[in-house]
């Protein structure tokens, strides 16, 4: 055998195996997506998302307290309004008495060191369930949509959010939000994380159950990217960088590792997030429950593949598990 054929000596020990990764998973890499509903005492099981619940603001202390103790560093909030009056412009999104703004304020008080990101979208709050405002013919009306998204972003930042994360995929919204932050003197106070390459995926089903955000007609293919659209994803990433995004995100993660890798190359100087979405999480659980693999092993393998592709931040429902599984 040739000297250059011998590789196994380099990874014969658990420690030397750990050195083979350029970067390791750490607790601070995980951002935990949580669903906040408008019943303040709610603690409601989401059957399609194992172990996850919709929470009311009064439950946040007992829910998040133990996780913060274990090393939880960041959360991303999704509002689930169940009792409000929805309309064409998503008025309840930034209602001061609504679940997101109430939760931001509560978490800032309870856990001052916890980093709070807020998903920004209108679909949970519009009567039609689309992510922007519509023309009378039912198509997206981009200009007022981005202005409304910017308005919601400013109100979340004013309430105390450390980061806003627009997930709508409307053209021009990153620029509009950044400009609105500059105008409101918030640009140095709030991070702008763009869902830059968000694909029209079959993996969002459990999330739509959880958030009640399925569109009442049509679908989101006019704004979310087609799964084959590598070039479009690259253009969207480059556009959002130019428009002022502080963090770039790819969503979903596992079927789009090549896009994460492209983003790492296109935006080497930005933090790079990926979202292990509800359907990915449910799939890992379903496979484990069917005896196909061990849950923890597969949770590691999937998230480590994202880190290998270039992600520096992972939004995942496995976050509480990783706080138990990781030492630091």
Q: What CA–CA distance (Å, rounded) separates 167 from 185? A: 23
Instruction: Say if residue 23 carries a ligand binding annotation.
Output: no
131 is in an annotated binding site: yes
Residue 286 C-beta: closest distance to Zn ion, Å? 25
Query: Could you tell me which residues are beta bridge partners of residue 298?
Result: none
Binding site annotation covers 84?
no
Minimum distance, C-beta of residue 213 to Zn ion, in the bound complex (Å):
6
Shortest distance in whole angstroms from residue 120 CB to Zn ion: 9
How many angstroms separate the CA atoms of 116 and 105, rounded?
Answer: 10
Distance CA 169, CA 148 (A): 13
Q: Which is nearer to Zn ion, 123 or 323 (CB)?
A: 123
The contacts of residue 312 (CB under 8 Å, 6+ apart) are 23, 29, 271, 272, 273
Query: What letter would DSSP give residue 29?
Result: G
Complex with Zn ion: residue 199 or 322, whichever CB lies closer = 199
Cα 100–chain centre separation: 15
Q: How far is the CB of 27 from Zn ion (least distance, A)?
A: 29
Is 123 annotated to bind a ligand? Reply is yes
Q: Judge whether 278 is annotated as a binding position.
A: yes
Q: Which two tokens stand for residue 258?
A: 């090549």
* Catalytic center residues: 198, 251
Instruction: Give the three-state DSSP class for 240.
Output: helix
Residues near Zn ion (CB under 5 A): 121, 123, 131
Yes or no: say if 10 and 96 are a contact pair by the CB < 8 Å rule. no
Query: Which one, 123 or 266, has the nearer CB to Zn ion?
Result: 123
Q: Give which of 26, 10, 8, 72 is closest to 327, Cα–Cα.
A: 26
Residue whose CB is less far from Zn ion, 67 or 165: 165
Q: Phi and psi dihedrals of 192, rounded to 5?
A: -115, 105
In the annotated binding site for Zn(2+), the residues are: 121, 123, 131
In the annotated binding site for 5-aminolevulinate, the residues are: 208, 220, 278, 317
In the annotated binding site, the residues are: 121, 123, 131, 208, 220, 278, 317
């Amino acid at each position: 055998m040739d000297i250059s054929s011998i590789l196994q000596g380099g990874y014969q020990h658990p420690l030397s195996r750990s050195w083979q990764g350029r970067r390791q998973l750490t607790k601070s890499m995980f951002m935990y997506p949580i669903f906040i509903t408008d019943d303040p005492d709610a603690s409601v099981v989401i059957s399609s998302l194992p172990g996850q619940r919709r929470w009311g603001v009064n439950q946040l202390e007992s829910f998040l307290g133990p996780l913060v103790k274990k090393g939880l560093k960041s959360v991303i909030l999704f509002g689930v309004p169940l009792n409000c009056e929805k309309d064409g412009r998503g008025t309840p999104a930034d209602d001061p008495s609504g679940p997101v703004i109430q939760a931001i304020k509560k978490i800032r008080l309870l856990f001052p060191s916890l980093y709070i990101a807020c998903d920004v979208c209108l679909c949970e709050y519009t009567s039609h369930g689309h992510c922007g405002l519509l023309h009378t013919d039912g198509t997206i009306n981009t200009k007022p949509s981005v202005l409304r998204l910017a308005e919601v972003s400013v109100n979340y930042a004013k309430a105390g959010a450390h980061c806003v994360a627009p997930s709508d995929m409307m053209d021009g919204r990153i620029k509009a939000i950044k400009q609105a932050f500059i105008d409101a003197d918030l640009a140095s106070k709030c991070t702008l994380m763009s869902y830059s390459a968000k694909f029209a995926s079959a993996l969002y089903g459990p999330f739509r159950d959880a958030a009640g955000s399925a569109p009442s007609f049509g679908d989101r293919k006019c704004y979310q990217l087609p799964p084959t659209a590598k070039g479009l994803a690259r253009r969207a990433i480059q556009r959002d960088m130019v428009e002022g995004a502080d963090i770039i995100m790819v969503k979903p993660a596992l079927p789009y590792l090549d896009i994460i890798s492209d983003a790492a190359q296109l935006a080497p100087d930005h933090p790079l997030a990926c979202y292990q979405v509800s359907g990915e999480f449910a799939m890992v659980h379903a496979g484990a429950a069917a005896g196909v693999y061990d849950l923890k092993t597969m949770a590691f393998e999937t998230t480590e593949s994202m880190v290998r592709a270039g992600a520096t931040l992972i939004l995942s429902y496995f976050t509480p598990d990783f706080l138990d599984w990781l030492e630091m």
